[in-house]
Amino acid sequence: MRTCGATPGGPDLAGVDLANQTVIQGVVLRGGVSDGVPNGSPVDNAYVRLLDSTGEFTAEVPTNLEGQFRFFAAPGSWTVVVLAHGAREEVKVQGQLGTPIDLVIHI
Amino acid sequence: MSRATSLVSTEWVQENLSNANVVFVEVDEDTTLYEKGHIEGAITFHWREDLQDGLIRDLISKEKFEALLSKSGISNDSTVVLYGGNNNWFATYAFWYFKIYGHQDVRLIDGGRKLWELKGLPLVTQVPARTASRYVAKDRDNSIRAFRDQVIASIGVKNIVDVRSPAEFSGELAAPAHLPQEGGQIKGHIPGAKNIPWSKAANEDGTFKSNEELSELYKAAGVDFAKETIAYCRIGERSAFSWFVLHELLDLQNVTNYDGSWTEYGSLVGVPVAVGA
């Protein structure tokens, strides 16, 4: 499924107090091609883990029906780990106050 | 209690799906998960609507617990098998709840919903119709629950284990990173508390670590098993997970869950607070 036209990445940020939150979010897709436009099928049964700069577990969320996830973190280095049936992906990110990180993760 | 009586494997679940004496109950933080799909035959409890008093901040009353279980077709002699998302946080909270009200045979699926899904095991959307029962609960067993005055009196005396993430313990974050940053009035931790995040007791797939690893984890952090231990977190769910590890898996009897946790303690006037690692 190609979701061209939809907002890439995580859930709608309307209503999120971005000035006071360090948002790390995104979408998990299976299949498709990573060509800058999110495509592939949303993975609605993945688990996304957030690890801090020392690799310590901080939080975990299941993806929603659209394959999306969101964390409210703090500024600094974080690692996002995606677990799903038959797949494991890691992405390193730098959290910033006010500028949400929006990931598209293919498994 | 022990690992053998409190924990079941996904294989055990598959073998007991049609066992009429077993009632599977899913308890999630994200309450939409059950609707997305659940283990065949499982019912669900909503951690807030079903398990919180709603008017005052407390567990539901014995009468309400009896009504909930009766409505759900759970009998006093049922084997209740709990599981849930988020590494069984809320399922362990429900486990502690069943123990508070004296249910005889309650167990937890090791790895919970996550391991079930990571193994690609089937989930269904059909909600089972269960025949109502007449459940009779016991009076609350407060020997596994800690209250604020006991916690304050335990500073420097008992083991106090803060099971939140290091960032919450140090005062950097007020809540877990998947939630908006709200919590107690102030940030920090109870002085003298050992920060042993609940997550250190779990493998990545959501299963519990071995008893040898768990025992070493707590001892290395300075927990003296000869003393009483109080576990706390932000609202009492993650600490129920660690309570389960200490009380059920490691079979330590002198362990309590402080379900008031940081949202209560961090709002109390005049109590001592520490910040930093």
Average pLDDT, chain B: 94
B106-B108-B114 Cα angle (round to 5): 155
**Hey, is the C-beta of B125 within 8 angstroms of any chain A C-beta?**
no
Written as six digits, the tokens of B166 are: 């290091």
The one-letter amino acid code at B179 reads L
CA distance B192 to B170: 12
Count of helices and strands (H, E) across chain B: 11, 9
CATH of B3-140, one of 3.90.600.10, 3.30.1360.120, 3.40.250.10, 3.40.50.620: 3.40.250.10
Looking at this predicted complex, what is its ipTM?
0.77
Q: So what's the pLDDT on residue A59?
A: 87
Average the pLDDT over each of B6-15, B180-189, B209-218 and give the range with the smallest value.
B180-189
Contact yes or no for B118 and A84 at CB 8 A? yes
Nearest CA in chain A to B28: A62
B221 touches chain A (CB under 8 A): no
Domains of chain A: 19-104 (2.60.40.10)
Tokens coding B199: 């997550």
Average pLDDT over residues B217-234: 97
Is residue A38 scored above 70 in pLDDT?
Answer: no
- What pLDDT was estimated at residue A35? 62
pLDDT of residue B173: 81
pLDDT of B108 reads: 98
Q: How many CA atoms lie within 13 A of A80 on its CB side?
A: 32
**What's the pLDDT at A1?**
42
Residues A43/A67, Cβ–Cβ less than 8 Å: yes
- A53 CB neighbours in chain B (<8 A) are none
Grouping H, G, I as helix, E, B as strand and the rest as coil, residue B43 is: strand
Contact B84, B43 (CB under 8 A): no
B173, B178, B241, best to mutate vs chain A, most A CBs in 10 Å:
B178
CA dihedral B102, B105, B109, B112 (to 10 degrees): -30
| Amino acid B1: pLDDT | 64
Q: Do domains B3-140 and B143-265 have the same CATH topology?
A: yes
Per the CB < 8 Å rule, is B118 touching A47?
Answer: yes
Q: What is the pLDDT of residues B6-29, one digit of tens each?
A: 999 999 999 999 999 999 999 988
One of 2.60.120.10, 3.40.250.10, 3.40.50.920, 3.30.1330.10 is the CATH number of B143-265, namely: 3.40.250.10
Domain boundaries, chain B: 3-140, 143-265
pLDDT tens-place string over residues A88-100: 999 999 999 989 9
C-alpha B213/C-alpha B235 separation (Å) is: 26
Q: β-pairing, A41-42 with A22-30?
A: antiparallel
Q: At residue B31, does pLDDT exceed 90?
A: no
Residue appearing with tokens 């290091």: B166
Whether A65 and B36 lie within 8 Å, measured CB to CB: yes
A-B CB pairs within 8 A amount to 72
What pLDDT is recorded for position A95? 93
What is the token pair recorded at B198? 């609940």
